[in-house]
Amino acid sequence: MNDFVGTGTLVRLALRRDRILIPIWIVVFVMTAAGSAKATMDLYTDPKALVDAARTSNASPALVSLYGRIFDESSLGEVSLFKLTAFGALLVALLGGMLVVRHTRSEEESGRLELLSAGVLGRYAALTSALIVSGATVIVLGLLTALSLMGSGLDTKGSFAFGLMWAAAGLSFAGVAAVTSQVTESARAANGLTAVVLGMAYVLRAIGDSSADGSTQWVSWLSPIGWSQQVRAYAGDRWAVLLVPLVFLAVLIAAATALIGRRDLGAGLVRPRPGPPRAAKSLRSPLALAWRLHRGSLLAWGFAFLLLGLLVGNIASNVDGFVTSDSAKEMVQKLGGVEGITDAFLATEMGMVGLLASAFGIQAALRLRSEETALRAEPLLATGVSRAQWLASHVLMALLGTGVLILVAGLGSGISSGASLGNVGRQVPRMLAAAAVQLPAIWLVTALVVILFGFAPKLVTGGWALYGVFLLIGQFGEIFNLPQWMINLSPYGHTPRLPGGDFSVAPVLWLTAIAAALTITGFATFRRRDIG
Amino acid sequence: MTSAIVVSGLHKSYGSTHALDGLDLEVATGEVHGFLGPNGAGKSTTIRVLLGLLRGDAGDVSLLGGDPWGDAAKLHRRLAYVPGDVNLWPNLTGGEVIDLLGRLRGGLDEKKRDELLRRFDLDPTKKGRTYSKGNRQKVALVAALASDVELLILDEPTSGLDPLMEEVFRQCIEEERQRDRTVLLSSHILSEVEALCDRISIIRRGKVVETGTLADLRHLTRTSIHAELAGSPNGLAQLPGIHDLDVQGNRVRLEVDTAQLEAVMRQLSASGITSLVAQPPTLEELFLRHYEDDVPAQDSQEPEAAVR
C-alpha cells in the first residue's frame, strides 16, 4: 500500500485546484444534453415525422459518418440525442483525458510533483489520484446528464444508459491519457498524443458506421467511441457493452503502472536525444524561433487536416447514392439536384473544418501567454527584439498557420470529391474558395486572443470560452430560439456558404476588418503594459 | 566618468504593494556595481524597469544615455542580461539558445563562446528540458558573456551554481572588469559582492539605503579589537566612539567606530600592547545593520533615518 500513500491528499489538492473548472464542464454537458433533447422532442410531436427524420438521417452517409447510425428509428430518445451520442462521447473523452494529463504529466513537468514527492507520497499516488478525479468527474457528469434527460421527459433506463455511455468514453480516455502521460516528457505532447488516439477512434467508428453493406461495421468495435454508441441508449440499452470500456481502462491502468515502475520521475519513456551544438544559420530572428516552436504542431495539424479534407470530399461524392427515401428525394430536388445536396454537404463540412482550424489559431496565439508566464519572453525582449516583433512572430504563426490548415483541407476535399465526381479541375478551385472564405471568421477568433493578451493577459484563456460560446450559438442557437442579434454575435454565422451558396463580399470584408482592428489594438496595448 | 545607469526617485507598485519606493541608483561606466539586498527587496523589479519590461510609476531612469522604456530594443543591443530564473525552450539545445540570444543582440564572439563552454563545463547538445537549474543558468551566462556588449546586467547569476562554477564566474567577471565593461551584479551572496564589486548599493524595501565603495561603507562601521596589554588599560571609557567595552585584567575587547580608530590605538599603546587582533567590519555586518530590525519582526515601520 506504500505506493499509494498520499493519494487522498492529492485528490483533495486536485479538487481544490479545479473547483471551478470541473463544475463548469459538468454544467455545460448536462445543459447541452437536456436542452438538445427538449428542443428536438418539441419538433417531433408526430411519431411519423420522427421516423421520417430518422430515416432521412440514416440514409445520409454524411450524417451517419459524422454522428453515427440511429438504431431504432421510432425511439424518441435516440432520435432526439443522436447528434450528441458519438460527438458528446468524444467531448467527454477529451475532458477525461485532459484531466489526467493535467494532474500527472503537467505537474511532473513543472517540477511541482517533485516537491510533493519529497514528502510522504507513494509512487502511484499521482496517477491514482488523477484517475480518481477524472473518473469521478465523468461519472458524476454522466449521472447528472441522465437525471436531466429524465427531467426532459425521456425514459429512465435509456437516460441512464445515455449518461453512463458518455461516462464510459471519459473513462476510456482517462486510461489512454494515463499511458500517454508516461510515454512523453511534456504535457503538451501527452495531450497531443491523447488527441491523436481520440481522433483515430472517431474516424474508425465513422468508417464502421458508414459501411454501406454492413461488411465493415466491425471497425466501429475497434473504437472506444464506437463502444459508447453500441450501448444503444434508448434503443435496447445494452448494459453489458459498458463492460468493454471498463476492461479497456483496467488494461491501460495496468500498462501505465508498469511504465511508472520503469522510469524516473520527470523522465518519459521516450529518451531525449542530444541535439545540435550550434543553431542553424537561419535561427536568428524572433520569427525563426516562432516557426521552430510552432512547426511540430502545425505539421501534425496539417496532416490531420489533409486527411480530414480527403475524407470529407470522399463522403460527399457518395451522397446521391444514398438518397432512397421519398422524403429525401424531395429534399434533394429542393436543394437543386444531386450537385445541390453534395454542395450543401461540403459547405457544412467546410464550416466544421473552419471551427477546428480556429482551435489551432487560438492555441497558437495562447503560446504568447505561456511564453510570457514561463519567463521565456523576458530574455528575448531583453535583446534587440522589440515587443512588436516578438508579438508579430507568434501572431503570424497563428494567422498563417490557420490559413495553411484550411487550404490543405480545401485542397484535399477538392481532390477527393473531384476525383470521384470526375471533375477535379472544377472541384479543386471551388473547394479552395470554400476553404478560403472560412478564414476571416477564424482570424477574428484568433484576434480575440491577441487583444486579450495585450489588454488583459490574465484573462487570455477566455479566448476558449468565447470560442465555446460561438460554437454553442452555431449548434443550438436556432434550436433554443435565441434572438437574431445573439445568433449574429458568432462570426462563423456570417461566413458565406460555399460551394454552391451565394457569395457576398461584404461579410468577408467586415470580418477581416474587425480581425485586423482587434489585432492592431492587441499590439498597441501590449506595447504599453508590464511584462510578467 | 559618465554613468551607465542613473535612476532617481523610482517608484513602482503592484496594486497595494510598493515594490520600489523612491529608489536612487547610479552605476558608473566601467565599474562592477554590486546590488545587494535580500529576496523581495526590489532588486529584480529595478532590473526589469532598467530593461524596459516594466514601466516605473514615477521617477527618472536613464540607461546607457537612453530611455529604457522608449528605446528598449535599440539599447538592448548594447547590453546582455542574465535573469535570476532561466527557463529555456524545452526542445532547443543549449547551444542553439546561446547562438539565438547572441545573434538577437547583434553577434557573438565565437572564440569566447567556445572558451566559456569549456570553462563552465557545459554540454551544448542537451535539450532545454533536460538541463538542471545550474546548467540553465550557465547557458544564459555563456550567451551573455560571449556577447560583445558594453553593459552586463546579472540578476543573482550564481544562485544555482556549485562553488567550482562560482569561482569560474568570478574569474569571468574579473576579466570583464579589466576590459572596462560595466557590470550590474544583483546578489544576496555577500562574499561574492565583496570579492567582485568596485561599488555597492544596498537596497531595502524598495530604497537604496547605502551606496559607495566597500572602503567608504566600512568607514561607517566599527572595527573590533582584542588586545592584551602590558599594564592595565585606562581612559578607554572616556573616548568617543567606543562600544561594548569589556576589560578583564589586562585584556581588552571593544568595538570602535572606524573614524575613532586612531585615538583608541594611541590610548592602547600608552599601556603597552603585547598582542593585538583587529578585525575590519565585514560586509555581512554592514548588511545586517541595515536589516537587523527586519529580522525579529516585520512590524517596525520606522523611517530609514533611524537606522542610519
Residue B30 half-sphere exposure toward CB, CA atoms < 13 A: 5
Instruction: Round to whole Å and give the CA distance between A43 and A159.
Output: 19
Residues B183, B257 within the same domain: no
> Taking residues B17-36, what's their average pLDDT?
94
Give yes or no for B71 touching A (CB within 8 A). no
| pLDDT of the residue at A272 | 67
Spatial separation of the C-alpha atoms in residues A348 and A352, rounded to whole Å: 7
From chain B, pick out residues whose CB is under 8 angstroms from the CB of A186.
90, 129
Residues of A within 8 A of B88 (CB-CB) are 376
Residue B251: give its domain's CATH number.
3.30.70
Residue B225's closest CA among B286, B281, B270? B281
Q: Which of B51, B64, B87, B122 to mutate to test the interface with A (most CBs of A within 10 A)?
A: B87
The answer to whether position B50 is within a domain reads: yes
B276: left (phi over 0), alpha (psi -120 to 50) or beta: beta
Strands B151-155 and B32-36 come out as unpaired
Average pLDDT estimate for B1-10: 90
Whether residues B187 and B163 share a domain: the answer is yes
Nearest CA in chain B to A283: B100
Res B259 pLDDT > 90? no
Residue B252 lies in a domain: yes
B105 and A383 within 8 Å at the Cβ level: the answer is: yes
Residue B55's closest chain A neighbor by CA?
A530
- Contact list, A375 vs chain B (CB under 8 Å): 83, 85-87
**DSSP character at residue A531:** P
Claim to verify: residue B81 and residue B126 sit in the same structural domain: yes
pLDDT of residue A516: 97
B32: in domain: yes
B130 and A186: CB-CB below 8 Å? no
Confidence of residue A328 (pLDDT cuts 50, 70, 90): low
Residues of chain A contacting B54 with CB distance shorter than 8 Å? 530-532
Answer whether residue B74 is part of any domain: yes
Average pLDDT value for residue range B255-272: 85
Quick count: other Cβ atoms within 10 Å of Cβ B86?
A: 27
Once rounded to an integer, what is the mean pLDDT over residues A17-42? 85
The cell numbers describing A309, all together, are: 479534407
Does the structure show a pLDDT above 90 at A438?
yes
Q: Using 50, 70 and 90 to split pLDDT, how confident is the model at A270?
A: low
Q: How far apart are CA A180 and CA B234, in angstroms?
A: 82
Contact between B86 and A379 using a beta-carbon 8 Å cutoff: yes
B95 and A279 in contact by Cβ < 8 A? yes
Residues B245 and B174 in one domain: no
Q: Does A379 touch chain B (CB under 8 A)?
A: yes
Stronger pLDDT, B260 or B34, i.e. the higher one: B34
Do the Cβ atoms of B125 and A276 come within 8 Å? yes
Query: What ipTM was predicted for this assembly?
Result: 0.83
pLDDT per residue as tens digits for the range A461-489: 889 889 988 988 887 777 678 888 888 99
Query: A294-298, B207-211, B213-217 — which is least confidently predicted?
Result: B213-217
Instruction: Please give the residue range of the domain that contains residue B232.
Output: 222-280
Among the partner residues A277, A284, A292, nearest to B124 by beta-carbon distance: A277
pLDDT class of B300 with cuts at 50, 70, 90: very low
- List of chain B residues whose C-beta atoms are within 8 Å of the C-beta of residue A286: 104
Closest CA to A204 of A184, A183, A229: A229
Instruction: Check residue A180 and give its pLDDT.
Output: 92
- The verdict on B97 and B156 lying in the same domain is yes
- Interface subset of B 258-297, CB within 8 angstroms of A: none
- Who among B86, B87, B96 is closest to A276 (CB)? B96
Say yes or no to pLDDT of A212 above 60. Answer: yes
Residue listed under C-alpha cell 457518395: A318
Q: A213: buried, middle or exposed (CB in 10 Å: 19+, 13-18, 0-12)?
A: exposed
Identify the band that residue A25 occupies on the pLDDT scale cut at 50, 70 and 90: confident
d(CA B19, nearest CA chain A) in Å: 14
- The answer to whether the Cβ–Cβ distance between A384 and B73 falls below 8 Å is yes
> What local confidence, expressed as pLDDT, does residue B160 receive?
86
The model's confidence at residue B307, banded by pLDDT at 50, 70 and 90, is very low
Q: Is residue B285 part of a domain?
A: no
Q: Which of A115, A264, A265, A278 to mutate to test the interface with B (most CBs of B within 10 A)?
A: A278
End-to-end alpha-carbon separation of chain B, Å? 29
CA-nearest of B70, B268, B281 to B194 is B281
Q: Is the dihedral of CA A81, A87, A91, A92 positive or negative?
A: positive
| In-domain check, residue B67 | yes
Residues B163 and B236 in one domain: no
Q: Which residue has the cell 418539441?
A: A42
Q: Is the pLDDT score of B305 beyond 50?
A: no
Q: Which residues does chain A have within 8 Å of residue B98's beta carbon, measured at their own beta carbons?
A: 279
Q: How far is CA B215 from CA A39, B219, B262, B283, in A?
A: 83, 6, 17, 10
Question: Is the predicted pLDDT of residue A216 greater than 90, yes or no?
Answer: no
Mean pLDDT of chain B: 87
Report the candidate in A405, A403, A426, A404 with the shortest Cα–Cα distance to residue A343: A426
Looking at residue A99, its pLDDT comes to 94
Task: Report residue B204 CA to chain centroid gap.
Answer: 13
In A, which residues are within 8 Å of B92 by CB distance?
Answer: 275, 292
**B65 domain residue, yes or no:** yes
CATH code assigned at B40:
3.40.50.300
A72-92 average pLDDT score: 90
Task: Please report where in the chains the cell 485542397 appears, as a residue.
Answer: A411
Q: Which residues of A touch B55 (CB under 8 A)?
A: 528, 530
Higher per-residue pLDDT: B282 or B177: B177
- At B303 the pLDDT is 39
**pLDDT tens per residue across span B63-102:** 999 999 999 999 999 999 999 889 999 889 999 999 999 9
Whether A276 has its CB under 8 Å from any CB of chain B: the answer is yes
Same domain, B18 and B69: yes
The answer to whether residues A173 and A96 touch, using CB atoms and an 8 Å cutoff, is: yes
Q: Is A250 exposed, middle or buried (0-12, 13-18, 19+ CB in 10 A)?
A: exposed
**Mean pLDDT, residues A253-278 taken together:** 81
Phi, psi for residue B204 in degrees, rounded to 5: -145, 125
Percent of chain B's residues with pLDDT above 70: 93
Cβ count near A49 (within 10 Å): 13
Higher-confidence position of A409 and A106 = A409
Q: Is a pLDDT exceeding 80 seen at residue B284? A: no
Residue B286 domain-assigned (yes or no):
no
Whether A385 contacts chain B with CB within 8 A? yes
Contacts of A425 (CB under 8 A, 6+ apart): A418
Domain count of the fold of chain B: 2
Is the pLDDT confidence value at B221 over 90? no
Q: Which residue of B has its CA nearest to A296?
A: B91
DSSP-derived pairing of the beta strands B151-155 and B79-82: parallel
Asked if pLDDT for residue A495 goes beyond 80, the answer is: yes
Same domain, B241 and B199: no
**Closest-approach residue (CA) in chain B for A186:** B90
Give me the pLDDT at residue B34, please.
94
Judge if B273 and B154 occupy the same domain: no
Distance between CA atoms of B129 and A185, rounded to whole angstroms? 9
> Are B158 and B273 found together in one domain?
no
Closest alpha carbon to A137 in A169, A108, A110: A169
Report phi then psi at B113, rounded to 5.
-60, -50
Same domain for B275 and B243? yes
Least confidently predicted of B21-25, B94-98, B138-142, B261-265: B261-265
Domain boundary among B217, B246, B269: B217
Q: Best of B44, B82, B99 to disrupt the A interface by mutation (most A CBs within 10 Å)?
A: B99
CB-based contact A412:A309 (threshold 8 Å): yes
Give B13's contacts in chain A (Cβ within 8 Å).
Answer: none
Greater confidence, A263 or A137? A137
Alpha helices in A187-336 (DSSP H): 187-209, 224-230, 243-262, 286-316, 326-334
Amino acid B286: pLDDT: 73
- At A134-168, the pLDDT tens digits run 999 999 999 999 999 999 889 999 999 999 999 99
> What does the pLDDT look like over A234-255, one tens digit per residue?
999 999 999 999 999 999 999 9
In this predicted structure, the answer to whether residue B188 has a pLDDT above a threshold of 50 is yes
Q: Treating both helix axes as pointing N-terminal to C-terminal, what angle do A125-151 and A7-17 enclose, rounded to 10 degrees? A: 50
For the cut 90, the answer to whether the pLDDT of residue B59 exceeds it is: yes
Per-residue pLDDT for B235 more than 50?
yes
DSSP letters, B41-108, are: SSHHHHHHHHTTSS--SEEEEEETTB-TTTTHHHHHTTEEEE-SS----TTSBHHHHHHHHHHHHT-B
Q: What is the mean pLDDT of residues A423-431?
A: 92
The candidate with the shortest Cα–Cα distance to A65, out of A205, A198, A206, A204, is A206
DSSP three-state, residue B274: strand
| Shared-domain flag, residues B41 and B173 | yes
